Amino acid sequence: MALLEIRNLHVALEDGTEIVKGVDLDVDLGSKHAIMGPNGSGKSTLAYALMGHPGYEITEGEIRLDGEDVVELAADERAQRGLFLAFQYPHAIPGVTVTSFLRSAINALRKARAGGEDDPVPIPEFRKELLAAMEHLRVPRELAQRYLNDGFSGGEKKRVEILQMALLKPRIAVLDETDSGLDIDALKVVANGVNSLVGPEMGALVITHYQRILNYITPDHVHVFVDGRIVASGGAELAQTLEAEGYEAFMPAGVGGDGS
Ligand SMILES: Nc1ncnc2c1ncn2[C@@H]1O[C@H](COP(=O)(O)OP(=O)(O)OP(=O)(O)O)[C@@H](O)[C@H]1O
Ligand SMILES: [Mg+2]
């Protein structure tokens, strides 16, 4: 049994339009999965549905985490069970520094895990962990004192997200790499974060339509996602094939897309 098991997952928009049309996927600890697919194929919809975004309705199928079906659980309850979505907090929060945001996020998890009792992380312990993670991920010190995402560049947002992942220590991290504007350094921060955290305690699902990031994260499994479905799966070499040949060969007749 894999830690995250997705079975026959169907996801619809609020108006009933079906976007994800039956996905089966297992993600286990220690493994790096990549989902690649053309624009508009439903990759982000899948990510939002995994996290429990209220705008995306699961009309059929199951999402099991450690054997437990989490479809009925709210986003925070899924997070408590160890699911993490990068881009989960894309908004700026003026007045809340990165440091205090991260501390609150950790404390919310600790509280849930202590059965609802406050169990705040001791400040010296938090500081130590934060500084170590920032150094490891090469996040500039001054970023920690700024208001979350307020005026952050795309690369800075990304760094803070990866920092959040490092501190929250999820069991399954879902990274939706929709931001095409990342420079090589920011890509490396993401890749370095994923590579150093995936192991006996974490598995990752990296969603992208660029092969670029996969030059730095070597996935164990690559899945081709077209029109709401996984249409092919393979090893890292599949990403190279896609880069060279595009999605054309995987497209059902009549489905559009720019093949990027
Ligand atoms: N909240 C929404 N309201 C209306 N349409 C939506 C919504 N969310 C997704 N869609 C539509 O669902 C389809 C799939 O979108 P989605 O963002 O999942 O694609 P994607 O594979 O992530 O694309 P990209 O590679 O460009 O990030 C698109 O046609 C999109 O317009
Ligand atoms: Mg997307």
The most distant pair of C-alpha atoms in the chain lies apart, rounded to whole Å, by 59
Q: State the Cα–Cα distance between residues 216 and 173, nearest whole angstrom.
A: 17
* 10, 13, 223: residue to mutate for ligand 1 pocket, most atoms within 8 A of CB: 13
DSSP-derived 3-state class of residue 63: strand
What residue numbers bound the domain in which 127 lies?
Answer: 86-171
195 is a domain residue = no
The count of domains in the chain is 2
The pocket around ligand 1, CB under 6 angstroms, is made up of: 13, 19, 37, 39-45, 55, 178, 209
**Paired tokens of 249:** 């060969």
Please, which residues have CB within 8 angstroms of residue 237's CB and are 6 or more apart in sequence? none
Per-residue pLDDT tens for 176-206? 876 567 788 888 888 988 999 999 999 999 9
* 73 in Cβ contact with 52 (< 8 Å): yes
Per-residue pLDDT tens for 89-108? 457 778 889 999 999 999 99
Confidence tier at 88 by pLDDT (50, 70, 90): very low
Q: Which pLDDT score, from 0 to 100, does residue 214 have?
A: 87
189 is a domain residue = no
Instruction: Provide the residue type at 133 as one letter.
Output: A
174 alpha carbon to ligand 2 midpoint, in Å?
12
Only one residue has tokens 């010296």, namely 124
49 with 105, same domain: the answer is no
Domain boundary among 139, 171, 203: 171
108 with 63, same domain: the answer is no
Nearest CA to ligand 1 atom 18: 42
111 is a domain residue = yes
223 is a domain residue = no
118 with 95, same domain: the answer is yes
126 is a domain residue = yes
* 164 in Cβ contact with 93 (< 8 Å): no
Domain boundary among 171, 202, 217: 171
Terminal CA-to-CA distance of the chain, rounded, Å? 34
Domain boundary among 145, 171, 197: 171
Please, which residues have CB within 8 angstroms of residue 71's CB and are 6 or more apart in sequence? 58, 61, 62, 63
14 is a domain residue = yes
Confidence tier at 260 by pLDDT (50, 70, 90): very low
Q: Which pLDDT score, from 0 to 100, does residue 252 have?
A: 73
